[in-house]
Amino acid sequence: MFSKKGKQIIVLFLASFLLMAPYQSAPVTEINATDEEDTLSSKLTEILSDEKLDGALAGVSVRSAETGEVMYEYNEDLRLKPASNMKLLTAAAALDTLGSNYRFPTEVLADGEMKGGKLHGDLYLKGKGDPTLMKEDFEEMAQSLKEAGVREVKGDVIADDTWYDDVRLSEDISWNDETNYYAAQVSALTAAPNEDYDAGTVIVAAYPGDEEGGQANVQVTPKTDYVEIVNRTETVAADEEKDISIVREHGTNQIVVEGTIPVDGSRSRSWVAVSEPSGLALDLFHQALVDEGIKVKGEKQLNGETPDTAKQLVSKESMPLEELLIPFMKLSNNGHAEVLVKEMGKVTHGEGSWEKGLNVVEDYLSGIGVNADTMRLRDGSGMSHVNMVPANEISDLLYKIREEEWFDDYLESLPVAGDSGRFEGGTLRYRMGDTLAEGNVQAKTGSLTGVTSLSGYVTAENGEELIFSIILNNYLDSAQDIEDEIAITLANYDE
């Protein structure tokens, strides 16, 4: 038995031990919330406890859009792969650097003397980054040349893509992505197959043949000889399986189409990135000249540089940046992001490269008080698995740009949850329908293998405008439903 004094000593010893023991917090969770936000915090934390995130990483930041005050944080400063949330940074820097009304010109120039409708010299097609050029634009340029009196080109027709450097792919593009449309090569002179403006690609479609045993009917859009189709398909009976593969062989423009398609089956279609997209643009322009009745005596030449003595005959401008932002952000067009990065480098530093363009992005972020020093930026689109950005810096960016004169253009470009219109709902058109988030959440999506992200704006049920950024990495199963649940919870917030 202990004496009374001994018991007092033991109690004091135990109390001291407990006070000195380290505080054991949750290993990956950090929450900052006022008392009135406790309910919101507990709901969001519960969502993030989903077993899908066991062994994964999550970063979340929620702010008041009015004050910028942080309402909820969860690993907010953890550097994570943002996937296409990188485009939020690229778009903001591009709008600030280039302006909403910025347009990309394409020029046709002549180096030689015009006599009697004949150009005694070479004709140059000079690209300056326009990612929206289509077959119709080259036809329009050819028509303008004819109207200007050009009837014959004695020399060559030459593609000039020297406005940017000759590095076609950002440094972290993987080998197996190179032939896919979302990793198309970036060139100052390029062409797109339709109004999604996936520059540097063609659409290859396989339709059933007329009878069993015959080959499928393969069509290319735009029609061009720049790619070679190798048709290894077979049209099979109506009750047999459709199994069509469309793949470009690396290092070539040979596209192999193989497999089976039922005689009454639906088409199989794929967007395929070409090698050296300036050659595609040149081929379409040359076709347009011939179709317009303009004779070309010389050859088609790639990798040319327009002489200083050349005179401009025709110029075609793209849509303004504020309009380009719609397909760029709504459909998450990777090529547009990389063109904008190179264009920022060209305009600001005189060099159209990833290095110089990303310097412009970093300088812009630092200039408005976003901590670019905590990031690693390797491209403009988010394709790189080496990009690293904390959720807190994305939400901070989204708060600080609200006062910019171009903010309405930026906001308009974000996908809208549950809006079925392709150029309205974009990548969110099939998400969060029949909830308070529908037509309310305006946010940029992001997706890579093991990566998903969602950052943007939402109006809570109590009328408060909120900003959020969610980045999830290293999960094994799909985790988009976790993002949606968080966004819907914010839309329902009514404290």
Where does residue 251 fall: left (phi above 0), alpha (psi -120 to 50 degrees), or beta otherwise? Answer: left
Catalytic residues: 84, 87, 332
Q: Residue with structure tokens 């398609």?
A: 261
DSSP 72-125: EEESTT--B--GGGHHHHHHHHHHHHH-TT---EEEEEEEEEEETTEEEEEEEE
Q: Is the Cβ–Cβ distance between 470 and 483 less than 8 Å?
A: yes
Q: Residue with structure tokens 């999604």?
A: 196
Provide the Cα torsion 128, 130, 134, 139; round to 10°: -40
- CA-based Rg of the chain, rounded to a whole angstrom? 28
Per the DSSP assignment, residues forming a β-bridge with 152 are 118, 295
> H helices of 376-471, where?
391-400, 407-412
Where does residue 439 fall: left (phi above 0), alpha (psi -120 to 50 degrees), or beta otherwise? Answer: left
Query: Which are the contacts of 330, defined by CB distance < 8 A and separation ≥ 6?
Result: 413, 414, 415, 422, 423, 424, 425, 426, 427
Taking alpha carbons only, the member of 395, 346, 438, 479 closest to residue 57 is 479
d(CA 240, CA 8): 87
The tokens for 203 are 């659409």
Q: How many CB atoms lie within 10 A of CB 431?
A: 23
Q: Phi, psi (5° rounding) for residue 308?
A: -65, -25
Burial class (CB in 10 A: 0-12, 13-18, 19+), 308: exposed
d(CA 277, CA 282): 9
Burial 153-189 (b: 16+ CB within 10 A, else e): bbbbbbbbbbbbbeebbbeebeeebbbbbbbbbbbbb
